[in-house]
Amino acid sequence: MSSEASPPRKFRFAAGGEGNADEGGARRFVKLAQKAEELGFDSFMIPDHLGNQVGPIAALGALAIATDKIRLGTAVLANGFRHPAILAKDAATIDVLSGGRLELGIGAGWMKEEFDKGGIDYERPGVRIAKLEESLQILDTLLRGQECNFDGKYYQIKGLTGSPRPRQGPRPPIAVGGGGPKMLALAAKYADIISVATPTSKEGKLLLSGVTLEKTMERVERIREAAGERFDDIELNWTITTIVITDDREQTAEMALAALDQGFPPNIEVDAKLSVEDILNSPYLAIGSFDEIADQIRMVREKTTMSYVGVFPTQMDAFAPIISQLKGE
């Protein structure tokens, strides 16, 4: 059966939180996850940065006890911050404490400034990706509760058995995020969930050209080619970076283009000239009425097979009415 003939995956929705001052700090963090659960989000994700946010592993431990149904995860851990043998134990512990609700997201790490501030080697991309590939193999074994013997270029594991045994079998799902061709190919080989991100420049800025629907379809095609027969088993995720509820989509898109011309937001590198239509069709931007945004998300799934939608912490409330429209589809 070809993948074209497969019915679309049901939508899932991820909220997120960092526990920074904008969200009310670390103490409000647990309430944020509980609210995401109440609003109907399927999962709650924590990023991994050395800046102003909670430590994801410790925070997941707290959320495992403070929530009941919502799945818990990381979007995404920086591989360079932790040794895979240690991470496997932390992840398995969280899966047990949460009753089998962990989604372990991991990436190569991309914010050079944080590595520099923390005194952690920020290696060239090829090395970071090669290390991540070794980590993924080690995690796959240890998170099954099996004995790991691994003799890699960067990591050597000798007769270590993964413990505690996770609740989910055969192991908790592993998510890998990426925007560039090498990361997407790696994710296609190992991940259960792939976060399809926009590519970044060498300085870690997001490339504007990558937000278009066409470029996103190209990234999914790259995953399809690299995954081969695995493709239908992989869940594809993306994160909507901006949600604007409005009854004038075109005017809002024009304002967004004007802001980009002025250099706002500063973390985006304007490497292409986009049209209003490019902005309105972008999977990463949600502009319009609740109905229009719900229709846009359906269209993105139809064109790309991506079905797992993430939103940023400050936009959980704005997005909640859209979940109730799409839940179960």
From residue 206, alpha-carbon distances to 66, 76, 175, 268, 270 in Å are 34, 16, 20, 5, 9
pLDDT digits (tens, 9 = 90+) for 259-290: 988 888 888 899 999 999 999 999 999 999 99
Q: Which residues of 12-45 are buried (b: 16+ CB within 10 A; e: fewer)?
A: bbbbbbbbbeebeebeebbebbbbbbebebbbbb
pLDDT of the residue at 274: 95
Share of the chain above pLDDT 70, in %: 98
Question: Which tokens belong to 129?
Answer: 């990706």
Model confidence, pTM: 0.94
pLDDT in the model for residue 5: 58
Residue 310 has pLDDT above 60, yes or no: yes
Task: Round to whole Å and give the CA distance between 279 and 274.
Answer: 7
Q: Is the pLDDT of residue 104 over 80?
A: yes
23 token code pair:
């969200």
